[in-house]
Structure formats: structure tokens, C-alpha cells
Chains A and B, each alone.
Chain A
Amino acid sequence: MSNTVIGKGIVIEGELHSEQTVEIHGCVKGRIVAKGRVLVASGAKVQAQVQAHTMCIHGTVTGDLKAQEGIELCSASSVIGDVKAPRIQIEKGASFRGNAQMGAS
């Protein structure tokens, strides 16, 4: 079964609910709720509150992130907002501004 992919050049304004993995290369404004993994690719812009099982951020996110499992802020990512997950990994080069909350919620 294919994953949800928001291509480069596509803008979604509103809510995105998914049972699976969501891959974002374009722009999402609003809210993302995924039962699987959310991947924000480099060049992608997300202005949304994001909830997922796991997250991997390469692009730019403005909004709060909450994951059941873990959040990875990769190098060259830029995040402004609060981050909450049992495990949070911030790579060298990542830009982050906000509150981080780790451990079991």
C-alpha cells in the first residue's frame, strides 16, 4: 500500500489525517495527525501542529510536534515550536527554538 506523499509544489491548507506514513515535500498549513511516521523532507515547509508515531524532520517546521515514539531533528532542519516525545534526537546543524519534553508522557 502506498504512502501519502505531498509533492513539491503542492500546498495543503487544512487537516491531514493518516493511518500510515506521510511524506511531505511541499507545504502543509494546519494540522497533521498520523498513526505512522511523518517525514518532512528538505525543502518542505510545514506550519502545523503535528502528531505522529515517529517523526523525521529535514525541512522547516513551525508548530508543535508530538510523537508517541520518537522525533528526529536532522541536520539542516529548522523547527520553531514545542517538541514532545519519549525520545528526541537533535542532530548537529539542526536549528530548534522551543521547549523539549522527553520521557514517557
Chain B
Amino acid sequence: MTADQPTQSVIASHTKVIGDIRGAGDLCLCGTCKGDIQVQGRVAVQAMGLLKGHVDAQEIEVQGVVIGELRAQQSIILGPKARVVGALTAPRVEILQGAQFQGPLETQRPEQAKVAQAEQASSSPSSKDARSPKKKVDEITLVTSHRDMVSNSASL
């Protein structure tokens, strides 16, 4: 019994978590979560899923609704039916056609983004102008094609 203990967690549909989820392992959210998620692994918010809270994870995929900040060490993917209001921070961000997103986007590792924000805050007020062209366009992958092509481009 101990050998096949799952490392993937599932919050099924018609299930609600009010509170924080943390730890190691992958998490699939098909239900509702009101609280922060902090895991060493992959977080997938499925089409039925609703999340009100922040996420810290290695990889984040959203097909459902998220209200809160998403921070990933590796990548964030917003699927074609994703609805996200908040902030995205990850070295690689994919927003598929049809996804709705509102908020700031940072294509850096979360800890680097924090440092950059702190530097901007501490530097002179003229940093306001320097802010907008700073975003490296080639780091943003905007994939509007079929899902299969996404997995191909992700492996590059």
C-alpha cells in the first residue's frame, strides 16, 4: 500500500477547499479553492476549477478561472478557456488564443522579479519611463495554434 501512494493530488469537482494547500507533489484543481497554493510541482486548474488565491509552483496550467497571482519557477500556460485576473510571473509564459487575462506579466523567475521590482522602487522616479520597454518580447511565447503544436514548441 505504501508503494503506490499517489504524489498527485486532486481536488475533484463539487469539492471546496477553504484554506491553504502546500507541500510537494502535483495538484489538479477541478473544484474550488479559496486560499493560497504553494507546492513543489505542477498545478493545473481545470476547466471546472475556480481558484481565489495565489499560486507558487514549478509549473502552472490554467484552463479554468483564477483570481490571484500566479508565480512559477518554470512556466505558466493559460489555456483557451482560461480566465485570469491577477499577475503572472514565470520565465516562460504561454497565453493561448481565447484566454482572458488581466493584470501585470513578468517573464522572469519569481525571485528575480522581486529583486527587479525592489530595484525599481528604490531607484529614482525616472524609472517610470524605463519600465515599459524592459519586457523582452522574444521571451513571450504567444501560441495561437493547436495544442499539439504547443507541446512541440515547449520542448524546444
| Chain A residues close to B by CB (< 8 Å) | 1-20, 22, 25-27, 30, 41-43, 58
Q: Does B149 contact A (CB under 8 A)?
A: no
| B23 close to A43 (CB less than 8 A) | no
A18 touches B19 (CB 8 A): no
Which residues of B21-41 have CB atoms within 8 Å of chain A's CB atoms? 21-27, 30-31, 35, 39
Footprint of A on B, CB under 8 Å? 1-2, 5-27, 30-31, 35, 39
Instruction: Check B5 against A8 for contact (C-beta < 8 Å).
Output: yes
Q: State the CA gap A7–B7 with chains docked (Å).
A: 5
Distance A20 CA – B9 CA, assembled complex (angstroms):
15
Q: Is the CB of A10 within 8 A of B19?
A: no
By a CB distance below 8 angstroms, the chain B residues around A5 are 6, 8-10
Q: Is the CB of A43 within 8 A of B6?
A: no
Q: Is the contact region of chain B dominated by helix, strand, or loop, or is it mixed?
A: strand
Q: Contacts of A12 on B, CB cut-off 8 Å?
A: 17, 19-21
Identity of the chain A residue whose Cβ is nearest the Cβ of B20 in the assembled complex: A13
Does A14 contact B8, Cβ atoms closer than 8 Å?
A: no
Query: Considering the chains assembled together, what is the distance between the CA atoms of A62 and B92 in angstroms?
Result: 43
Whole-angstrom distance from the CB of B139 to the nearest CB of chain A?
Answer: 31
Neighbouring A residues of B18 by C-beta, 8 Å: 14-17
Distance of A27 from chain B, by nearest CB (Å): 8
Query: Assuming the A-B contacts A5-B6, A26-B9, are A11 and B15 also in contact, with contact meaning beta carbons closer than 8 angstroms in the complex?
Result: no
Q: Roughly how many angstroms separate A26 CA and B30 CA in the complex, as a whole number?
A: 19
Q: Can you name the residue of chain B whose Cβ is closest to the Cβ of A8?
A: B5
